[in-house]
Chain A
Amino acid sequence: DVKVTQSSRYLVKRTGEKVFLECVQDMDHENMFWYRQDPGLGLRLIYFSYDVKMKEKGDIPEGYSVSREKKERFSLILESASTNQTSMYLCASGLAGAPSTDTQYFGPGTRLTVL
Chain B
Amino acid sequence: SQKIEQNSEALNIQEGKTATLTCNYTNYSPAYLQWYRQDPGRGPVFLLLIRENEKEKRKERLKVTFDTTLKQSLFHITASQPADSATYLCARGATNKLIFGTGTLLAVQP
Interface residues of A (CB under 8 A from B): 4, 33, 40-43, 45, 48, 50, 56, 58-59, 90-92, 98-101, 103-109, 111
Contacts and interface: CB of A to CB of B under 8 A. Distances in A.
Contacts of B8: 40
Interface residues of B, number: 24
Contact of A42 (B30, B94, B96, B103): B103
Interface centre among B42, B92, B98, B103 (most CB of A within 10 A): B98
B96 A56 contact: yes
B30 to A, nearest CB: 8
A42 B100 contact: yes
B110 interface: no
A66 B25 CA distance: 30
A104 B49 CA distance: 11
16 contacts: A33-B97, A42-B103, A58-B97, A90-B44, A98-B93, A99-B96, A99-B98, A100-B32, A100-B95, A100-B96, A101-B93, A103-B49, A106-B44, A107-B43, A109-B43, A111-B41
Interface of B: 8, 30-32, 34, 41-46, 49, 89, 92-98, 100-103
A18 B34 CA distance: 35
Contacts of B95: 100
A101 B32 contact: yes
A56 B34 CA distance: 22
